[in-house]
Amino acid sequence: MDSTRQPILFVSYAESGLLNPLLVLAAELSRRGVEDLWFAADEKARSEIEATTVKTPVEFASLGDVVSEMSAVTWDDETYQAVTQRSPFKAHRAVIEHSFAPETRVEKYRRLEAIVDEVKPALMVIESMCQFGYEVAITKKIPFVLGVPFVPSNVLTSHVPFAKSYTPRGFPVPHSGLSANMNLSQRLTNELFRLRTLGIFMSAKMREVVKEDNRIREELGIAPEARQMMARIDHAEAVLCYSVPELDYPFPLPEKLRLVGAMVPPLPQAPDDDGLSDWLSEQKSVVYMGFGTITRLTSEHIGSLVEVARRLSDHHQVLWKLPEEQQKMLPPRETLPDNLRIEKWVPSQLDVLAHPNVKVFFTHAGGNGYHEGLYFGKPLVVRPLWVDCDDQAIRGQDFGVSLSVDHPETVDADDVYDKLTRVLEDDAFRERAEHFGELLRAAGGRSAAADVILGLPALATH
């Protein structure tokens, strides 16, 4: 083994919301000519990872097939309904009960362990939701960086009472959808959220799962310190968060937290877009509707959104990214309004958001979409989907860049049309979004993130 090698190993699940920022970062390091880049992920992500090579190779290391419990796009309809229900705590509980399945990470841990033994990384860059990733790094004492696609408090605030937290007491608990500006009732709800989360693990069923988790940890030889509530933060060399301080409620930021803004690749990302950019250039005002890869709209939802597009037809075009399987629920093509353009996929959502004729982004407010929309100065209308989406949605309202629909479970056409019209016609939303766009761009994005990586002691030249 060449003692001068300094391999960097990225680790992520294949879910696009988790994977994409690390793809941008890996490509940036490749663009700079950094050698010995590796990326471990599920087999599903092979082609995307291999495509990140710019100058120096990014080598793919397979973690095998997707684990259903950790891939929301594979969940059955019953699970989807449970994790996206409008009670924040019940949805939070459903996510924990479904995804806390210790046996499912055994193969991932062993595969990654074998990859690490072969690659011998000097540094690992691990997506924040990838538990087995930081467990391997901590156990094998490999320096690592954590990548976070949410607002920073999401990973710095404890979900349970009496545990270490980097945010002050009374700070909104992640997934609660609560504002920092709480009344007495909301403060009580916030405290109960923590207690009820602890209570989830006190049930007989979950105690058995915890017992199984302990057995598996011992079997795999996972270091005890990897189990600490804030292990992924405490043991990281740096925490890369794709946001800025001003997009979260204020709290003292730990020194290792590096807020680098949205991870945006060089644009245009997809120059050959089958004429989509030309179409955008021909319009005066476009509402872009894109709800991520997880959202499952019903025929009633789709009918309501078609009606919203119809009501906007006097002044605005609507571009709607709607998956092919959901397009089967559309009304007959001949009945659709002329101002509505539907695509099963857009070659680059970033290219769409960057276009000056796109005036508002109707989104589910996932971590990436929320920050990317604001990066390009686009105000938002939000139909929050689940967990972190509710947290980003309330911050968007508090910071004056978005409005949230009142009934996301039904998608009321009157309400959606009202919110879109208000955001389109009130310049204050655009001005605030442009303000945060300036902050996000100034944070440095992929360039700043790469500088952090390359400046760490683990990669110092000896």
Q: Is 9 helix (H, G, I), strand (E, B) or coil?
A: strand
Which tokens is 10 given? Answer: 């990225």
Burial class of residue 451, CB neighbours in 10 A (0-12, 13-18, 19+): middle
Angle of CA points 91, 95, 99, to nearest 5°: 170
Q: Does residue 348 have a pLDDT over 50?
A: yes
Query: Strand 380-382's sheet: what is its strand order?
Result: 340-343, 317-321, 286-290, 358-363, 380-382, 402-404
pLDDT per position as a tens digit, 218-277: 999 999 999 998 999 999 999 999 999 999 999 999 999 999 999 999 999 999 999 999
Q: How many residues does the chain have?
A: 462
For the chain, domain boundaries: 8-261+443-459, 276-442
Which amino acid, 382? V
Confidence of residue 174 (pLDDT cuts 50, 70, 90): very high
pLDDT for the residue numbered 5: 83
pLDDT for the residue numbered 353: 98
pLDDT for the residue numbered 3: 59
CB 123 within 8 A of CB 25: no
Q: Does residue 2 have a pLDDT over 70?
A: no
Q: Does residue 416 have a pLDDT over 90?
A: yes
Beta bridge partners of 124: 9, 144
Mean predicted confidence (pLDDT) in 77-103? 95
pLDDT for the residue numbered 461: 63
Asked whether this chain's domains 8-261+443-459 and 276-442 adopt the same fold, the reply is yes
pLDDT for the residue numbered 69: 85
pLDDT per position as a tens digit, 183-225: 999 999 999 999 999 999 999 999 999 999 999 999 999 999 9
pLDDT per position as a tens digit, 363-373: 999 999 999 99
Mean predicted confidence (pLDDT) in 415-420? 98
Whole-number Å distance between alpha carbons of 13 and 293 = 14
Q: Does residue 68 have a pLDDT over 50?
A: yes
Tell me whether strands 317-321 and 358-363 are parallel, antiparallel or unpaired: unpaired
pLDDT per position as a tens digit, 134-144: 999 999 999 99
Residue 395 CA: distances (Å) to CA of 179, 227, 353, 402: 7, 30, 20, 9
User: 88-99 and 184-200 are packed helices; what angle lies between their axes, rounded to 10 degrees?
Assistant: 20
Mean predicted confidence (pLDDT) in 446-461? 94
pLDDT for the residue numbered 1: 43
Beta bridge partners of 320: 289, 342
Whole-number Å distance between alpha carbons of 45 and 127 = 14
CATH number of the 8-261+443-459 domain: 3.40.50.2000
Helical residues (DSSP H) of 72-183, grouped into ranges: 77-83, 88-99, 106-119, 131-139, 153-156
Q: Does residue 70 have a pLDDT over 90?
A: no
pLDDT per position as a tens digit, 27-37: 999 999 999 99
Burial class of residue 149, CB neighbours in 10 A (0-12, 13-18, 19+): buried
The third-level CATH classification (topology) of the domain covering 276-442 is: Rossmann fold (3.40.50)
